[in-house]
């Protein structure tokens, strides 16, 4: 005798249509995750309305008050009730969901906010009277006359009061306020021509301006550079490389920092697609891949990159929050980011971050001086040569007590010959503690870590040799068989040609298995199965893999380290100058293989300031 299913009761479940209030509250859970989500939706609406100045006021991290004021086109009084209806929008007509040129287009933000909070919208269109409408917990009031000069004011109070369970998942006021600030900064980077002011109006104290960015002027890069300087700081602006590249109707522009200006976490990486801030794993992986050879695994690059393309090439309708995108051909933007950044880093040559010099000057901490010291005019090159000649006997007697000290012979400069001081890294003047080269430039001095610098030079030479001659492979006596799923196997075999160029040869072995025939000889004895699984995991996570290349270049880096000039070795003058000249001619010589600086440049004006000679 068949037993009754215990999971099915006597009464069948009834299918019923949810009421509008429940629908809006469920939708609000997707669109409005926290106060920062509400701020994002409201500010994006203001930008879509053509606003040039946007003010944001929050209280208690946005939990009790969010007010967004803009000078945009406004909403007509008759359209206010429609604006609070689900899926009502002025952004699109619904005929083409791929041809989207605005931030918003789903028509869900305002009704969702009105379903979980107390929402008031006051707006005025040029030539019409202002109107106001209120909605609380989904209950909409009537449109009433209001006083407003222009634009729109959206005020949201008591967020999630209609769904109190959501309040239990809110973080502290400070954490929520920080999330709001992060949202505003991202939107400010996306729109340099728009002014933003974020204020905290909590309590009875005077409003506190948390963030302010006035509208920027100038061309695209000037405006963007000014805005990034305001948002990310002057240090980033001074150490950022300009990026501008195109590939297959996709343009990449923005700024990326030098490797020596990096962070301990990926908190300063900003990527925008058609002006929309996104958090895309594939694009973030491309950014890491571009800096792969310049930073150690515990350091992360800093960048603000903008991808512009035909809206039909990218789908922004993946998630209600619109923070994820999907490209029709993901390989094109990824390859564009990697190649453009690597090209910019190569063009930067031996340039190092200015923050390194600032830190050096800060560590010196001179004693405070009293009266101002008179500073004479700096002597010319000819005057310095004459002074050297006059002082040479005295200094020659002292030379024995110095470590590798260099004194120029008293001779007139050859007008046809470039003075070493005029070169970027100057002329070597001495060696300190048998590890640091002191060089003099026209505008200051350079301190070079001889081991770190030579390590980078040897590493770049080894990489060039590997690129020219290829990676030698060693055949396995017995091929290693690795069992994978069909999807993983297909993904791995698509990459087989790239892996073969790195000395790793794989073949299909039937079903979901692959056979490893050859491994890179430079790696020696290697666990092929573990390496293949690491590659598959990286492909699944990022869409591409740097595992084999990372291991090979780690070996090259280790060889370069052992084959470089060691700390403690005294160098002759010609050796030091040859090292400086080779650094000037070698890309990426401003940082060692681990992203640390190879030299510090100090300006003469800064050195004089240390001694009060201003």
Mean pLDDT of the region 148-168: 86
Task: With cut-offs at 50, 70 and 90, classify the pLDDT of residue 403.
Answer: very low
Query: Which pair of tokens denotes residue 481?
Result: 């068989």
Give 475's Cβ-side CA count (13 Å radius).
1
Q: CA-CA distance, 19 to 523, in Å (whole number)?
A: 65
Predicted local distance difference test score (pLDDT) of residue 590: 79
What is the 3 state secondary structure string of 277-298? EECCHHHHHHHHHHCCCCCCCC
Give 272's Cβ-side CA count (13 Å radius).
24
Q: CA-CA distance, 32 to 172, in Å (whole number)?
A: 17
If we measure between CA atoms, which residue out of 546, 548, 550, 557 comes closest to residue 460?
557
If we measure between CA atoms, which residue out of 216, 238, 305 comes closest to residue 269?
305
Task: With cut-offs at 50, 70 and 90, classify the pLDDT of residue 604.
Answer: confident
pLDDT at 391 over 50: no
Q: CA-CA distance, 474 to 482, in Å (whole number)?
A: 18
Predicted local distance difference test score (pLDDT) of residue 376: 44
pLDDT at 370 over 70: no
Alpha helices in 470-506 (DSSP H): 486-493, 496-501
If we measure between CA atoms, which residue out of 179, 200, 186 comes closest to residue 55?
200
Indicate the length of the chain as a whole number: 614
Q: What is the DSSP letter of 300?
A: B
Fold designation for 220-348: Ribosomal Protein S5; domain 2 (3.30.230)
Q: CA-CA distance, 559 to 553, in Å (whole number)?
A: 10
Q: CA-CA distance, 491 to 120, in Å (whole number)?
A: 52
Contact 492, 505 (CB under 8 A): no
CATH topology match: 20-211 vs 392-606: no
Query: Which pair of tokens denotes residue 586?
Result: 């070698």
Alpha helices in 233-371 (DSSP H): 234-238, 281-290, 331-347, 354-364
Predicted local distance difference test score (pLDDT) of residue 540: 75
Burial 155-178 (b: 16+ CB within 10 A, else e): bbbbbbbbbeebeeebeebeebbe
- Burial of 81 from C-beta contacts in 10 A (0-12 / 13-18 / 19+): middle
- The H or E element that residue 83 is part of is helix 80-83
β-pairing verdict for 436-440 and 427-432: antiparallel
Q: CA-CA distance, 230 to 215, in Å (whole number)?
A: 11
If we measure between CA atoms, which residue out of 403, 437, 424 comes closest to residue 576?
437
The DSSP annotation for 68-81 comes to EEE-S----GGGHH
Which residue is associated with the tokens 């695209």? 220
Who contacts 396 (Cβ-Cβ below 8 Å, separation ≥6)?
Answer: 407
- pLDDT tens digit string along 447-470? 888 888 888 888 788 777 777 777
If we measure between CA atoms, which residue out of 215, 577, 222 comes closest to residue 406?
577
CA end-to-end span of the chain: 102
Instruction: Report the percentage of the chain scoring pLDDT > 70.
Output: 75
Fold designation for 392-606: Ribosomal Protein S8; Chain: A, domain 1 (3.30.1370)
Which of 36-50, 94-108, 244-258, 395-409 shows the lowest per-residue confidence on average (mean pLDDT)? 395-409
Task: With cut-offs at 50, 70 and 90, classify the pLDDT of residue 39.
Answer: very high
β-pairing verdict for 513-520 and 505-508: antiparallel
Task: Report CA-CA distances (Å) from 202 to 54, 182, 199.
Answer: 19, 18, 9
pLDDT at 218 over 60: yes
Predicted local distance difference test score (pLDDT) of residue 161: 81
If we measure between CA atoms, which residue out of 264, 438, 242, 239 comes closest to residue 354?
239
Contact 425, 432 (CB under 8 A): no
Residue 608 CB coordination number (10 Å): 15
Q: CA-CA distance, 601 to 239, in Å (whole number)?
A: 14
Query: Which pair of tokens denotes residue 416?
Result: 């046809």
Mean pLDDT of the region 268-289: 87
Fold designation for 20-211: Heat Shock Protein 90 (3.30.565)
- For 283, phi then psi, to 5°, come to -70, -40
Residue 149 CB coordination number (10 Å): 7
Predicted local distance difference test score (pLDDT) of residue 390: 44
Provide the 3-class DSSP secondary structure of residue 603. Answer: strand
Task: With cut-offs at 50, 70 and 90, classify the pLDDT of residue 194.
Answer: very high
Spans of all domains in the chain: 20-211, 220-348, 392-606
Contact 462, 560 (CB under 8 A): yes
- The H or E element that residue 345 is part of is helix 331-347
């Amino acid at each position: 005798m068949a037993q009754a299913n215990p999971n099915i009761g006597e009464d069948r479940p009834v299918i019923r249509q949810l009421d509008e209030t429940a629908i809006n509250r469920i939708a609000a859970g997707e669109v409005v995750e926290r106060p920062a989500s509400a701020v994002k939706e409201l500010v994006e609406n203001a930008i879509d309305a053509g606003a040039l100045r946007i003010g944001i006021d929050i209280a208690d991290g946005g939990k009790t008050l969010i007010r967004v004021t803009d000078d945009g086109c406004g909403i007509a009084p008759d359209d206010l009730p429609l604006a609070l209806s689900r899926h009502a929008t002025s952004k699109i007509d619904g005929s083409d969901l791929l041809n989207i040129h605005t931030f918003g287009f789903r028509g869900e933000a305002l009704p969702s906010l009105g379903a979980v909070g107390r929402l008031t919208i006051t707006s005025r269109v040029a030539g019409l009277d202002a109107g106001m409408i209120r909605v609380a917990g989904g209950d909409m009031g009537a449109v009433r006359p209001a006083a407003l000069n222009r634009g729109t004011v959206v005020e949201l109070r008591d967020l999630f009061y209609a769904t109190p369970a959501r309040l239990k998942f809110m973080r502290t006021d400070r954490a929520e306020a920080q999330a709001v600030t992060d949202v505003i900064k991202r939107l400010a980077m996306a729109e340099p021509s728009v002014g933003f002011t974020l204020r905290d109006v909590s309590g009875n104290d005077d409003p506190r301006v948390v963030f302010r960015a006035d509208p920027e002027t100038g061309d695209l890069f000037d405006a963007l550079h000014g805005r990034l300087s305001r948002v990310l700081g002057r240090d980033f602006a001074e150490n950022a490389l300009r990026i501008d590249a195109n590939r297959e109707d996709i343009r990449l522009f923005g700024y990326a920092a030098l490797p020596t200006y990096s962070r301990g976490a990926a908190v300063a990486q900003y990527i925008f697609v058609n002006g929309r801030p996104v958090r895309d794993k594939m694009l973030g992986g491309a950014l890491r891949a571009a800096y792969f050879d310049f930073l150690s695994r515990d350091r992360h690059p800093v960048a603000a990159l903008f991808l512009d393309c035909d809206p039909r090439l990218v789908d922004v309708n993946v998630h209600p929050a619109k923070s994820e995108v999907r490209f029709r051909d993901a390989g094109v933007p990824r390859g564009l980011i990697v190649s453009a950044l690597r090209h910019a880093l190569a063009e930067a040559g031996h340039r190092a971050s200015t923050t390194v010099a600032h830190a050096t000057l800060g560590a010196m901490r001179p004693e405070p001086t009293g009266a101002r010291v008179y500073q004479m005019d700096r002597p010319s090159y000819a005057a310095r040569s004459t002074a050297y000649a006059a002082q040479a006997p005295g200094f020659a007697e002292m030379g024995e007590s110095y470590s590798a000290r260099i004194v120029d012979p008293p001779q007139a400069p050859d007008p046809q010959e470039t003075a070493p001081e005029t070169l970027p890294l100057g002329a070597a003047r001495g060696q300190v503690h048998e590890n640091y080269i002191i060089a003099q430039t026209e505008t200051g001095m350079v301190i070079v870590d001889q081991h770190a610098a030579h390590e980078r030079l040897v590493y770049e030479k080894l990489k060039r040799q590997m690129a020219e001659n290829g990676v030698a492979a060693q055949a396995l006596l017995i091929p290693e068989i690795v069992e994978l799923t069909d999807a993983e196997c297909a993904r791995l075999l698509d990459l087989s040609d790239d892996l073969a160029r790195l000395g790793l040869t794989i073949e299909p072995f039937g079903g979901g298995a692959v056979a490893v025939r050859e491994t890179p000889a430079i790696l020696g004895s290697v666990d092929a199965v573990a390496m293949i699984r690491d590659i598959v995991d990286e492909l699944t996570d990022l869409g591409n893999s740097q595992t084999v290349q990372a291991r090979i270049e780690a070996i090259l880096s280790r060889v370069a380290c052992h084959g470089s000039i060691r700390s403690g070795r005294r160098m002759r003058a010609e050796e030091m100058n040859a090292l400086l000249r080779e650094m000037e001619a070698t890309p990426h010589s401003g940082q060692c293989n681990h992203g640390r600086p190879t030299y510090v440049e100090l300006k003469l004006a800064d050195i004089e300031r240390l001694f009060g000679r201003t």
